[in-house]
Amino acid sequence: MADAVKGPASYFPSIEKKYGRPIADWQDAIRTSPLTRHMELVNWLKAEHGLGHGHANALVAHTLAEDKGK
C-alpha cells in the first residue's frame, strides 16, 4: 500500500480543484515573483490571487523547500 502524501503537498489536489490551475503554475508564479520571504509570498497569493491562507502557505512552503534542496 502506498504511503499517503503528507505535509504541504497533501493540499495540492484541493488547490488544483478549487482554483483550476495546476500546481506547476502556482510554483512558477512564486518563483518569478520579486518577493522572496515566506509570509510576503503567502500574503501576495492571498491578496492578488484569492487563495486561502492554508493553501497559499502550503504552496509557498513546498516551493521554497524544493528550491532550497536544489
Q: How confident is the model at residue 46 (pLDDT cuts 50, 70, 90)?
A: very high
What average pLDDT does this structure show over 30-41?
97
Look up the pTM and report it.
0.89
C-alpha 59/C-alpha 68 separation (Å) is 14
User: Of all residues in the chain, what percent carry a pLDDT higher than 70?
Assistant: 94
What average pLDDT does this structure show over 55-63?
97
Q: Look at residue 7 in the predicted model and tell me its pLDDT.
A: 85
Quick one: cell of 27?
510554483
User: Is a pLDDT exceeding 70 seen at residue 3?
Assistant: no
CA–centroid distance for 63 within its chain: 6
What average pLDDT does this structure show over 1-19?
85
